């Protein structure tokens, strides 16, 4: 007996909850063959503003957690994605085509990326920080600290791996994230938000907003409470104007890149979202 299929309506992931856009807007998502797959919420400026507020509130707790704890949380995300591997493979395949093998390779790359960055959580500070040689009875120490709220725009392809490659390194040091996945292929990213909701990631640490990056990115670039703007996947946007707007509030800016996504598993990606604090401490005199 045939039955009526029930297309899923994907919501925004904002402050640990799944919500409709306050504007009530949504758009249709089709697969690589042009066949309708699902309806997806289209974020508005108000949704983005609330995501920034949620990320700012969550920053103190996430950055204040131990590095070891953050590493455990990132590894937990990988564990849950592994358990839903076939779902992610199917969603990537329907979105991008190219065969199941290519889709599986991308999903495995995304899972491995979480594991890779989880391993760096309690190690990057030792590599990036140092004890500086100074003249006098002082200790002079430099330590990396998180930048704050990071807004990221993922590339169109690979839709899942590009998003994970932007979110994971920002989280390692204690930053919180407002992320825009591929507008054309958002479903794997929105399924990732379901993984985040059932993992140990505190609410507000990652916020995923589907919709039009071209509409929302200029507002995020000028928002004074966004500390960094990652434009790695924003080749299709007017990223020069975005950088100019971001510069007015002294944001850390990562420009668009076209290198292979696997190359973004690097310590440089972690340090791109850190600031160096230098501390002077008087030596004890015995």
pLDDT recorded at residue 136: 76
Q: b/e string for 55-72 if b means 16 or more Cβ within 10 A?
A: bbebbeebbebebeebbe
Tens-place pLDDT, residues 209-237: 999 988 999 999 999 999 999 988 877 78
Contact 126, 274 (CB under 8 A): no
The fold of the 9-282 domain, in CATH, is Aldehyde Dehydrogenase; Chain A, domain 1 (3.40.605)
Of 69-73, 81-85, 88-92, 98-102, the least confident: 98-102
- Give residue limits of the domains in the chain: 9-282
Residue with tokens 């310590």: 267
pLDDT recorded at residue 154: 87
Tens-place pLDDT, residues 107-165: 999 999 999 999 999 998 888 777 767 777 777 777 889 999 999 998 877 889 999 99
Q: pLDDT-derived band of residue 284, with 50, 70 and 90 as boundaries? A: low
Q: pLDDT-derived band of residue 262, with 50, 70 and 90 as boundaries? A: very low
pLDDT recorded at residue 285: 57
């Amino acid at each position: 007996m045939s039955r009526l299929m029930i297309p899923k309506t994907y919501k925004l992931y904002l402050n640990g909850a799944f919500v409709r856009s306050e504007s009530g807007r949504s758009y249709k998502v089709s697969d690589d063959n042009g066949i309708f797959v699902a309806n997806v919420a289209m974020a508005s400026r108000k949704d983005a503003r609330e995501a920034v507020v949620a990320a700012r509130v969550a920053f103190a707790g996430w950055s204040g957690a131990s590095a070891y704890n953050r590493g455990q949380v990132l590894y937990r995300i990988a564990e849950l994605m592994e358990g839903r591997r076939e779902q992610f493979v199917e969603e990537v395949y329907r979105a991008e085509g190219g065969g199941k093998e290519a889709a599986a390779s991308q999903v495995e790359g995304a899972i491995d990326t979480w594991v890779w960055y989880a391993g760096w959580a309690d190690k990057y500070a030792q590599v990036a920080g140092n004890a500086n040689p100074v003249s006098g009875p002082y200790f002079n120490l430099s330590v990396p600290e998180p930048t704050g709220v990071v807004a990221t725009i993922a590339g169109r392809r690979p839709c899942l791996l590009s998003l994970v490659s932007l979110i994971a390194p920002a989280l390692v040091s204690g930053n919180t994230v407002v992320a825009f996945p591929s507008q054309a292929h958002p479903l794997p990213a929105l399924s990732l938000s379901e993984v985040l909701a059932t993992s140990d990631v505190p609410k507000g640490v990652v916020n995923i907003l589907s919709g039009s990056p071209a509409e929302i990115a200029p507002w995020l670039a000028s928002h004074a409470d966004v500390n960094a703007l990652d434009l790695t996947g924003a080749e299709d946007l007017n990223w020069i104007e975005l950088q100019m707007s971001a510069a007015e509030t002294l944001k850390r800016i990562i420009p668009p890149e076209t290198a292979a996504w696997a190359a973004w598993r690097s310590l440089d990606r972690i340090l791109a979202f850190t600031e160096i604090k230098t501390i002077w401490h008087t030596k004890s005199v015995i």
